[in-house]
Structure 1
Amino acid sequence: KDCPGKLFQAWRLLLYLKSSLSDDDDVLLEPYLQSWDQLLKFMESLGTMASFFSQKVKEKVVLIQQLGGIYIRSMVEMELKAGAVDFSHRTDSGCRTLLRLHRSLLWLKLMLEGLAEGPDVRTSSLMVCGVDAYMVALAPHHPWVLRQAAEFVFLALPDRQYFLQLVCVQNQQEAVPILRIIIHALTLVHTRTQQILAEHGMLELP
């Protein structure tokens, strides 16, 4: 349902994620990027520090939007054919940018999985879930300085009750079904994107 007064709308995110899955095991770029529009709203709703972190993600979304294209696989193959992808040096190719978004998507998925598990000692806050997810999805690919900056961002994240308000529920029991539906959709999109990147040897682009 619509959550009055909130920029982030869970139902919109779910709609875009599902719409991005094409029938031929590809990912449609437009709804994929629309999903990111909602995910960015979610990140920015978590406070000033989180919105600073999301700015880097927003730059990556804009870059891919400027490239155009309909499918992720065709964008990857087009850049390979044009020689735009360098497997040994950093470039601003759409493929490299997509890989960074792909890793961030995993971070958000893992954080939501932590929140769905329930409010116990290890998953009592966004901060704990955010850090745990970051250590798995992003920290291995970040230099020390960026890892330190990320820790400050997570320290400033609000409590679980604030998150529940973002998805318009009153308690953890109401939140779990919503979270599981979103996590499932995120998993489908992440898995398909992972397959496309893996097929072309792009999971470790510099």
Structure 2
Amino acid sequence: MGVKSKAAAAILVLLLFLGSLWLHGGLDYHWDSCLKGYNHINKFHQLSNSSVADAAEGPHVLEGCPGQTFQVSLLLSHLLAAPAYTSDVLLQPYLSSWDELVKFMDALGPMVGLISKEIESKTTVIRQLAQQAAENPEAELEPDVHSINSVSKEAGTKNDVEGSRHGDAYHSVRSMIWTELDSGLVDFHQQTDSGCRTLLRLHRALLWLQLFLQKLAEIPVAGRPRSPSELCREAYKSTLAKHHTWFVRRAAELAFIAMPERGFFFRLVCAQNQEELSAMLNRVVQAIGVVYDRTQKALEENGMLDLP
């Protein structure tokens, strides 16, 4: 094997290792056992011109982009379908949003795509927990809403409590939190395969992608626009990097170097220019912000922002 081949192999091994470390900043143990999740039926492919669509700065849903696996229109529709009640998030459209974001990352090339595999394994964890709860409803514990911090008498949470109690254990972010706290599945001192811990890792990654898309949507005032590689690296340093070790941060730099140039993103969403790209991405960024803020509030109210 030549020197170049050995170097290429070494980089590939390094990036594969990065994929396993990406979200947690260390080895997330025995995730392979969770990879056999159930087949998720997507019920959110279509969105009518309703008040939900109005939340994304206009009544019209984005059109599909022929020839692309990633569809920004589907991503937006899932994100708009996720908020529920006054401050809750429905898990099915939330996870469907991640399905589309995984396709987005896969489209950026094999090096960035390696990162998406770890994210995909985490959505599988939550779906597997949801399937187990659905198959064994008698084993579910009814959430004791009077003992949970997030459902105190604070104004604005009553609708979330009543609404989520009528769903199954993994109907929403808050119903999952209540159920897992009552069942003792969440451990605040050591790692567990809880949906709450897994959600926290996805939540951190969502902030990174939101900031990256926001930067990509910015229209340069003067001079040549910065490369997507630079923007993604900058977004990473402001978000996920704080949860990663030195080694993972260095490995992430390698993945970002291989990111496509700006013209690729025009084709990815069928945009003709930066103005069209900005209009699309700004709607997505706004929709992500709503989902992120609601998830942040639910996790914070229950002291889950630093789960090991």
* Superposition deviation, residue 123 in structure 1: 5.2
Report 1:183-198 matches (<5 A).
183-198=285-300
- 1:36-75 paired onto structure 2 within 5 Å: 36-68=98-130, 69-75=170-176
Q: CA deviation at 1:18?
A: 0.6
Give the one of 172, 191, 195 matched to 1:94. 195
Give the counterpart letter for 2:89 in structure 1: V
Match of 1:20 in 2: 82
Cα shift at 1:174 = 1.3
Task: Give the % identical residues.
Answer: 49
State how far apart, in whole Å, the 2-side matches of 1:132 and 1:92 are.
31
Contact 1:125–1:159 (8 Å) recurs in 2: yes
Q: For residues 113-132 of structure 1, what are the structure 2 equivalents within 5 Å?
A: 113-119=214-220, 124-132=226-234
Identify the residue that residue 169 of structure 1 maps to in structure 2.
271
Q: 1:109 is matched with which residue? A: 210
**Counting helix residues as a fraction of each chain, which structure ranks higher?**
1
Q: Distance in 2 between matches of 1:118 and 1:99?
A: 31
Give the match's secondary structure for 1:54. Answer: helix
Unaligned runs of 5+ in 1: none
Deviation per CA, 1:121-154: give whole Å up to 9, x if none.
6952211111111111100001111111111110
| CA distance in 2: counterparts of 1:123 and 1:109, whole angstroms | 19
Amino acid at match of 2:273: N
Greater Cα offset, 123-132 or 137-146:
123-132
Q: TM-score, normalised by structure 1?
A: 0.96
- Cα deviation digits, residues 20-59 of structure 1 (max 9, x gap): 1112321000000000010000000000001101111000
Letter of the 2:300 partner, please give it. A
Verify: 1:158 aligned to 2:260, yes or no: yes
Name 2:241's counterpart in structure 1: 139
Which residue is 2:17 aligned to? none
Q: Which is greater in Rg?
A: 2
- Which deviates more, 114-123 or 65-74? 114-123
Select between 71-80 and 88-97 the one with higher mean Cα deviation.
88-97
1:92 deviates by 1.9
1:118 Cα shift? Answer: 2.4
- The DSSP-based 3-state class of the residue aligned with 1:12 is helix
Report if the CA contact (8 A) 1:115-1:123 is conserved.
Answer: no
Task: Say whether residues 1:32 and 2:94 are aligned partners.
Answer: yes
Q: Which runs of 4+ in 1 moved over 6 A?
A: none
- Number of residue pairs matched? 206
1-side partners of 2:190 and 2:253: how far apart? 28
